[in-house]
Amino acid sequence: MPPTDRKAASLLTRLKGADADAAHRDFAIVATQRTGSTLLEELLSSAEDCYVFPELLAVQQPFHVPRRAIRKGFVAQADVDAFQEALLAIKYGLYRQENDGPVSLGAHLMWNQVSDRLIERLIARGQKMVFLERDNILAIYRSATFAREKGLSHVRGGSKDARADKVAYDHAQFERFQRKISDFYARRASLARKFGQDTITVKYADLARDKKTVVNRIRAFLGLPPEDQISSDLQKRQSANPIDGFSNPDEVRAGLARLGLDHYLQPEY
């Protein structure tokens, strides 16, 4: 093991603490935008023996390193990986220092903000990976476009207003978006094959249909007992039928027909 890796491993071991219950496994939720990762974060965190840190590397936070900074050579990917790994270790350690009792701690990460090498390093340190996917990329595109254009991400509390606001479908933009998301999912599949017993993949549609079953499946994966009392105040903002959110549905249908993706027009659940 290289010296820098040995130092990181030693740091993580010290920060986890000697009293940490070995049955409580640290983990990360790794997802793309608009796939229900914040909902899953809150559901898992609603149990006393599990806590997921809110998205650590969001664009508006100083911990995020833009990809273009790496591509232009201003910072090396290896240095970014080491920095992000140390950041996670410090977050875990400070939580354990400030809170009593064994708990499984999770990080909320996005595919466009982390490298495969970082995920491999976290698995090597003993963490588990929870991959979250949403099969309907059209629905992800619609929701991401809505959030970007309207400045609205989540609905909290008792309001279930789906909002009348709609977004315009742009075929070239959608094709680029689909390639990007498909690439993330290919990375997920490769890592799942390589580290099968240390990874679990859950689907957005399953989470939307039956939150309790999905959460308890993850808890079992982490070595935690079933939990009946899970909750979140997040509400669905949009219809399960993705085409409802577009102002130009005919262009959506024509564009998907050209790509052979008509099944994306069906409701997700």
E-assigned strands of the chain?
Answer: 27-31, 50-53, 104-110, 128-133, 155-156, 199-203, 234-235
* Per-domain boundaries in the chain: 3-265
What pLDDT is recorded for position 153? 63
Rg, the chain, Cα only? 19
What pLDDT is recorded for position 158? 53
Task: Give residue 15's pLDDT band: very low, low, confident or very high (50, 70, 90).
Answer: very low
What pLDDT is recorded for position 19? 38
What pLDDT is recorded for position 269? 82
Task: Give residue 140's pLDDT band: very low, low, confident or very high (50, 70, 90).
Answer: very high
What pLDDT is recorded for position 22? 45
> Measuring CA to CA, how many Å separate 16 from each of 13, 85, 147, 196, 269?
5, 13, 36, 24, 40
Task: Give residue 164's pLDDT band: very low, low, confident or very high (50, 70, 90).
Answer: low
What pLDDT is recorded for position 59? 66
What pLDDT is recorded for position 60? 67
The 10s digit of each residue's pLDDT in 220-256 is 999 999 999 999 988 777 788 999 999 999 999 999 9
Chain-centroid distance of CA 116 in Å reads 14
Average pLDDT of 73-89? 92
Measured CA to CA, the distance from residue 182 to residue 188 in angstroms comes to 10
DSSP codes, 129-173: EEEEE-S-HHHHHHHHHHHHHH----EETT-----S--B---HHH
Task: Give residue 155's pLDDT band: very low, low, confident or very high (50, 70, 90).
Answer: low
Tell me yes or no: is domain 3-265 CATH 1.20.950.
Answer: no
The contacts of residue 81 (CB under 8 Å, 6+ apart) are: 115, 117, 118, 121
- Predicted TM-score (pTM) of the model is 0.87
Residue 210 has pLDDT above 60, yes or no: yes
What pLDDT is recorded for position 261? 96
More confident residue, 165 or 134: 134
Measured CA to CA, the distance from residue 176 to residue 170 in angstroms comes to 10
Task: Give residue 101's pLDDT band: very low, low, confident or very high (50, 70, 90).
Answer: confident
Residue whose C-alpha is closest to residue 225's, from 24, 29, 81: 24
Residue 28 has pLDDT above 50, yes or no: yes
Residue 5 has pLDDT above 70, yes or no: no
What pLDDT is recorded for position 4? 52
Measured CA to CA, the distance from residue 136 to residue 238 in angstroms comes to 14
What pLDDT is recorded for position 131? 98
What pLDDT is recorded for position 16? 46
Average pLDDT of 96-118? 92
What pLDDT is recorded for position 256? 97
What pLDDT is recorded for position 156? 66
Average pLDDT of 64-86? 91
Mean per-residue pLDDT over the chain, rounded = 87
